């Protein structure tokens, strides 16, 4: 069996940028892109903050272009999920069902998934009023009433951020106490545009083609009510997609793959020749552009590793 230079698992902005860089370095990367390729940008509509697109770009189109760019330089793709890996210092092994692939280096870019409430209309109206990213979509709700669901730091931060755009921001949380830090709570409480609705859960998102309101239930009184909003931001945490690598790689206390703090190889994991980039190792920035940047770093780190380990 051939041992490739690089296998990349995952195909969001991080994985595809890594593929572009590795392919242009003539390393002929194999990208195992997953059945649901393209990552979280496939779930968004317009992306206005990715540099280089003066008038914005649709998320799926951006990903299609990145993929085509990688192919142009010789990256190969398998449109299926990696099902098993064996990560060790030597040859890295990745399975796609029964087929085994070997490489000298592996780049992990499997991303993270925003946690959702699991309501039917929440998925149906995703990108049409329902969002999981205030930085990405807040701008579309200028002068409109918005809701944020959650009681952690993300929810507080998103509520404050969204108050720059929305006419009003309702912060809806299922309890009276918060997971968020006190300073973040105080900041949101002091914001005249933010109104807290506590002990309350979201029962359903209302609207045919776009969000027109929410059906809420107060857990203390059991009363249901309707709230008119045009946007709802679900901020109940993220789950990094690391199941495939569990027990084989160092993961931090939030479940993200730990990458190096050394400036000379920022994408390195604890296993020589294994690198991670994008949201699977970033609980903080979670932007397409930071993911792309870290994908570039991972490809360059892998390239240096290959140069230093050439027979």
- 136: annotated active-site residue: yes
Site for ligand NDP in 281-310 (CB under 6 A): 283
CB-nearer residue toward ligand NDP: 133 or 276: 133
30: exposed, middle or buried (Cβ count in 10 Å: 0-12, 13-18, 19+): buried
Q: Which of 28, 144, 174, 228 binds ligand NDP (CB under 6 A)?
A: 174
Q: How far is the CB of 167 from ligand NDP (least distance, A)?
A: 24
Does residue 84 contact residue 98 with C-beta atoms inside 8 Å?
no
HSE at residue 206, side-chain half, CA atoms within 13 A, is 14
- 296: annotated active-site residue: no
175 counts as binding ligand NDP under rule CB under 6 A:
yes
Name the token pair of 27: 């390393």
- Neighbour order of strands in the sheet with 224-227: 200-206, 213-218, 224-227
Site string for ligand NDP, 225-264 (x = CB under 6 A): ----------xxx---------------------------
191 counts as binding ligand NDP under rule CB under 6 A:
no
Q: Which of 12, 150, 293, 295 binds ligand NDP (CB under 6 A)?
A: 150
Q: Determine phi and psi for 122, rounding to 5 degrees.
A: -65, -45
CB-nearer residue toward ligand NDP: 68 or 183: 183
CB-nearer residue toward ligand NDP: 27 or 114: 114
Q: Which residues in this chain contact ligand NDP in the complex, by CB under 6 A? A: 117, 150-155, 157, 174-175, 179, 235-237, 283
Looking at the annotation, which residues are catalytic? Answer: 133, 136-137
């Amino acid at each position: 069996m051939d041992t490739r230079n690089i296998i990349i698992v995952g195909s969001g902005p991080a994985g595809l940028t890594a593929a572009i860089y590795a392919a242009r370095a003539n390393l002929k990367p194999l990208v195992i892109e997953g059945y649901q390729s393209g990552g979280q940008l496939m779930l968004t509509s317009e992306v206005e903050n990715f540099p280089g697109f003066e008038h914005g770009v649709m998320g799926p189109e951006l990903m299609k272009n990145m993929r085509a760019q990688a192919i142009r330089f010789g990256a190969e793709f398998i449109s299926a999920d990696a099902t098993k890996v064996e990560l060790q210092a030597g040859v890295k092994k990745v399975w796609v069902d029964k087929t085994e692939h070997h490489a000298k280096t592996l780049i992990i870019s499997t991303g993270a998934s925003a946690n959702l409430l699991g309501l039917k209309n929440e998925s149906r109206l995703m990108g049409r009023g329902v969002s999981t990213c205030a930085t990405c979509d807040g701008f579309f709700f200028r002068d409109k009433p918005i809701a944020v669901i959650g009681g952690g730091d993300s929810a507080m931060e998103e509520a404050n951020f969204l108050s720059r755009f929305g006419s009003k921001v309702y912060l809806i949380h299922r309890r009276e106490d918060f997971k968020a830090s006190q300073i973040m709570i105080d900041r949101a409480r002091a914001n005249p545009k933010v109104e807290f609705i506590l002990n309350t859960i979201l029962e359903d998102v209302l609207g045919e083609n776009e969000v027109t309101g929410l059906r809420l239930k107060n857990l203390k009184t059991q009363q249901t009510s309707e709230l008119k909003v045009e946007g709802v931001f679900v901020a109940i945490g993220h789950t990094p997609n690391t199941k495939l690598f569990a027990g084989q790689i160092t993961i931090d206390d939030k479940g993200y793959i730990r990458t190096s703090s050394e400036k000379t190889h920022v994408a390195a994991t604890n296993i020589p020749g294994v690198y991670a980039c994008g949201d699977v190792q970033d609980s903080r920035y979670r932007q397409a552009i930071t993911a792309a940047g870290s994908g570039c770093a991972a490809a360059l780190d892998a390239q240096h590793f290959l140069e230093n380990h050439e027979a």
